[in-house]
Amino acid sequence: MYNSRITKSSIAALLLTIGLVGCGSDDVKTVSDFDAVDTTSPVDDWQLVWSDEFAGNRIDPNKWNIEVNCRGGGNQEQQCYTDNPENAFVSDGTLKIVALPADEGADLPYTSARLNSRHKGDFKYGRIEVRAKMPRGQGSWPAAWMMPTDEVYGGWPKSGEIDIVEAVNLGALTAEGEPETRVYGTLHYGRDAPNNSNSGKAYALPNGANPADAFHTYAIEWQEGEIRWYVDGYLYQTQTQSLPRRNSRGELVGLRHRGWFAEFFNQATGDLEVVYGPQPFDQRFHLLLNLAVGGNWPENVNELGIDADAFANGQTFEIDYVRVYECASNPNTGRGCETIRAGYKDEETLVQGEAPIPSPPSDGVARNLTIFDGTPNPNWPAWDCCGGSTPDIVDDEEAGPAYRFTVGASPTVNGFISRSAFITDPNGSASPFDASPILATGSVKFDIKVLSQPNAETTWLFKIESNEGSTEVEIPIAASEEGLAPGTGEWQTVTYTLQSLADAGLDVSGIDVIMVFPAWGTGEGAEYLLTNVKIEAPLGDSPELVLFDGGENPDWPMWDCCGGSTPNVVEDEERGPVAEFVVGSAPTVMGFKPADGSGIQFDASAILVDGVVQFDMKVVDAPNNPDSFWLFKIESDGAATEVEVELATGNAGNAPTVGEWATYTFSLQTLSDQGLDVSAIDVVMIFPAWGTGEGAVYRVDQARIYDPSAGASGLTIFADNVVAGWSLWDCCAGSTPQIVEEDAPYGRVAQFEILGWPETVLGFLADEDVSFDAGHLIGNGAVGFDMRIVQQPTNGETNWLFKIESTGAATAVELPLSAGNFGIEPATGEWARYHFSLQDLSAAGLDLSDINVIMVFPAWGSGQGTIYQIDNVKIDNF
C-alpha cells in the first residue's frame, strides 16, 4: 500500500488483472510429504507465535499502533487516518476498520484507520493468515500487508513490501460489465521511485463469489527466497528470488528464472549493486491493516472515481483474526513447512518478476548485426507494441523490400524486438546483441521513409532498450547525427553512435529492442517504411576451431570413449584424407576430444549468435541393428553442461544414407538455448545410439566450430553487367539474352526472350569449373533479384518459376516465383523484388557450397512470346 502505484496505475492494474506469469525452476528443496500433508492447511510444524483474535472490547495497544495522518500511502488517497473509535474498533470478536465521510471543511473528504505492528509484532519468515470480510464500492481499497521494520536496504521500495491481500472497488462493474470480485497479492522492490518494480497476480473466488459478502482466509507462506499466496487454503501464486545463470568461469550470463531483486550500496566498495538473492525479503517485516478511499489505482479502474453513495453510511473492512506461524523445522529460513501442491511453480502459478537481466560478460570480439536489410531476421521480428497492427514488407521503388509500419487510433510504438515472448518464427530465438566491443566506433543506423505524417503535430522518436528494458534511451530523430526530422516521401538515413547512447545511459551489451515512432498518443495516421536497420562497425577476426579438415587437429584428436578402438585417418575416394570411426561389440560414443587433463577448451561465446558446429559425414557400413539411429552430442567444462540430439536435426530431418556424404549443421544459439555453456566446449561426438552401433563404419570431414558469416562476402551476379565467370544463358532455344537500357533506377538490365520453339529455360550460368560457395551466408543470406515482365506469353498469363542448381544439377530446387515475393504473382510492366532464403533452399536439398545455375522462366511449354528483364542479381546477406 505504501506508494504502491505512483504512475501508470491503470496499466499496473491491468497487468495484475491478467496475471504476470513466468517459467523456471529453483534450487529450494522441501521436506513436505505429499501423501501425508493436507494441502488445504498448514503442516504440523507450523507453530503459532503471534496472533490477535480480537476477542476483547478494544484494540490491543501491545500489538497495534494506530496511525494518525493524512498522507495515506502516497497514492493520492482521499482519507485521513485517525484514532477515532468510529474508524477502528473491536466488537463481537472482530476488528472493524470503517471509512466514513469527513466533516465539512476537513483536509480530505473521508476518514479511516490504519494499524501497524511495528516493534510489537515483527517477523522474518513464516505463515501469516488474515481472515477478513472486505468492504465494497467504487473507491474502496482495503489491504493487509507488510513493511520492513528496519529498512536495511533503504527507503521504499528498496527494502521491500509484501501485500498479503488487497482489493479495489469490489462490486463495481468491470470493463466487461461484470461485478468486480478480484483480490491481489503483490511484491514491491527494486530501485527508487519512479523506477520501482512490482510483481503479483489477481485471484477470483470460485463461482463468482464476492469477497465483500463473507469472510475468507488470506495467507502467505514466506521462506528464504520464496513467498506463496493463498485464499481459503488454495495456493494461487508463487514468487521467488531470481535464479542467475553462470558460465564455466562463474560469470553471470542470464537468469534461469526472473524473480525479484534488490539494489543497494555495497558497504565495502560503496558501489551501487544489483543483487539476485533473497534480499530484500530476508529481514524483519511488520503487519499493516487499513482501508483507503480512492487513490491512483481505484479511481482509474472499474467505474472510475469514488462513489460517494457507497460511503455515505461508511464501508467496513472487518478482520476476524490475524495469526503468525513460525516453521519449527527451520525458523532461520522458514523452509520445511511448505503447504504446496503439484504444479505450484507452473506457468499458471509462478509469477515472473522484474529483475534486470544481467549482461553477459563481453567476449571482446567485435561483430555486426543486421536486423533488416531486405530479408527478415528471424531473431528480430518487426513489432507493433500496442496498436494491434501487423508490420508487413512492401516493395519500395527506390529501396526494394522495406518494412511498413502504421499507427492507428491506439497509441503505440513500432520497431524490432528480440525477446522470446515476441518471436514466432521457429527458426528464431531471443538474441540480445552485445555491442560493447564496437562501442568506440560503432553506430545504430536505419533508413526511414514517411509515407504519411500523423494527423496531429508530433515529434518523431528513436528508442533503444537493453536486457528486457533494464536500461533504455529515447531521443528525437532530429537529434541524430544527421540532425533532421523525417520528411514526407523521401528516404533518410538516421545514425546514432553507440558511444552517445551509452553516455545517455544505455547498457550496450544486451540490446534487444529498437523502436522508431511518432511520440506516444500523437501518431494516428502515420505510415512509414524502415530498412537497412543495423548495428555495425568495422569487424575483426572471428574465433574458429577446426576439428578435422584433411588431417587431425593434434589438440582435438579423434576419440573412442569406451570401445577400445583407435579411429584412423583414411583415404576416401571422393574426399581424400578423412577421419574414420569403427564401432565394435562394446557400446561406445566417438568423436573429437582433447586429452584428459590438458585443460583445452573452445570458447565459442564470441560467435554465439551466428556460429555453428558443422561437419560432413558418410556412413560406410550401417550398424547391424536395424533399429539403431544416429546422434550428435556436445559437452562443455567436463560435462557440466551437455546437449544430445538426433543427428538428422542437423540436416533438415534427413537421416544418414549409406555411401553418401552429407553436411550437418547445428546452431550454437540453439545449443545454448538447450542448456550448453558455449564458453568451455571440450567434447564433440557423432555416434549410433548407445549399445546399437556394432558394425558401424563412418567417416567425418570438414568438421569445425565457426561463424559462417565472419568476413562473409556475397556474389553479385548481375548489376549493369554480368560478373566474370558467369553469363546470360538460354538453355535450349538458341537465343542470345541481351543487356538493354531501361529507365532509372535500373539502367542496364538483362533481357530474356522466348520467341518460338523449341521451349527453353533461361537465367544465369557459371562457366565450367566455376561455382559459388554460399555456405557461409546460410544464417541470413538469400538469392535476390529484381524482375519485370515486358510482354506476357502469346497464349496469355502462365506460371512463373525460379530454379537453382549446383554443378551438374547434382542438387536442384524449383519453386514458384511468387514464393520469393510473399505469394504475389508477377504483373506485366511492374518491377518486383524477389528473395529466396538460403536456409530454405538448403532445407529443400540444395548444396549451397556449389551453386552454378540460377533460372527464372515461364512454365515449360507455355512461354512462347515472352519478354522479361532481370536486374540486381545477388547471393548475399539481405
**Strand 226-231 relative to strand 216-223, pairing:** antiparallel
299 and 305 Cβ atoms separated by less than 8 Å: yes
- Between the alpha carbon of residue 619 and those of residues 112, 128, 693, 698, the distances in Å are 81, 65, 12, 4
* DSSP assigned state of 330: -
List the helix and strand counts (H, then E) for the chain.
5, 55
Q: Which is the catalytic residue, given 67, 77, 129, 166?
A: 166
Distance of alpha carbon 259 from alpha carbon 277, whole angstroms: 10
Q: What is the dihedral of CA 149, 155, 156, 157, to 10 degrees?
A: -100
Q: Is the peptide bond before 194 cis (omega within 30 degrees of 0)?
A: yes
Nearest to 248 by CA among 607, 678, 598, 643: 678
Other C-beta atoms closer than 10 Å to the C-beta of 562 total 11
- Tracing cell 516453521 back to the chain, one arrives at 327
580 catalytically annotated: no
Size of the chain in residues? 878
288 and 165 Cβ atoms separated by less than 8 Å: no
Task: State the amino acid at position 227 in one-letter form.
Answer: I
Q: Is the peptide bond before 554 cis (omega within 30 degrees of 0)?
A: no
Instruction: State the number of CA atoms in the 13 A half-sphere of 136 facing the CB.
Output: 12
Distance of alpha carbon 518 from alpha carbon 455, whole angstroms: 11
Q: What is the dihedral of CA 769, 771, 776, 782, to 10 degrees?
A: -170
843 and 822 Cβ atoms separated by less than 8 Å: no
| Helical (H) or strand (E) element with 668 | helix 668-673
364 and 543 Cβ atoms separated by less than 8 Å: no
C-alpha cell at 299: 479511481
396 and 355 Cβ atoms separated by less than 8 Å: no
As a whole number of Å, the end-to-end CA separation of the chain is 52
161 catalytically annotated: yes
Distance of alpha carbon 378 from alpha carbon 425, whole angstroms: 6
SS3 326: strand
- Between the alpha carbon of residue 171 and those of residues 11, 132, 168, the distances in Å are 21, 16, 9
Q: Give backbone dihedrals phi and psi of 824, rounded to 5 degrees, phi first.
A: -90, 125
| Helical (H) or strand (E) element with 14 | helix 9-18
Q: Which is the catalytic residue, given 67, 161, 221, 263?
A: 161
* DSSP assigned state of 179: B
444 and 452 Cβ atoms separated by less than 8 Å: no
User: CA Rg, the chain, in Å?
Assistant: 34
Other C-beta atoms closer than 10 Å to the C-beta of 114 total 24
Distance of alpha carbon 820 from alpha carbon 378, whole angstroms: 16
Nearest to 531 by CA among 423, 391, 435, 408: 391
C-alpha cell at 809: 544439377
Longest dimension (CA), the chain: 109
SS3 352: coil
Other C-beta atoms closer than 10 Å to the C-beta of 875 total 24
Distance of alpha carbon 807 from alpha carbon 769, whole angstroms: 8
Give the active site residues.
161, 166
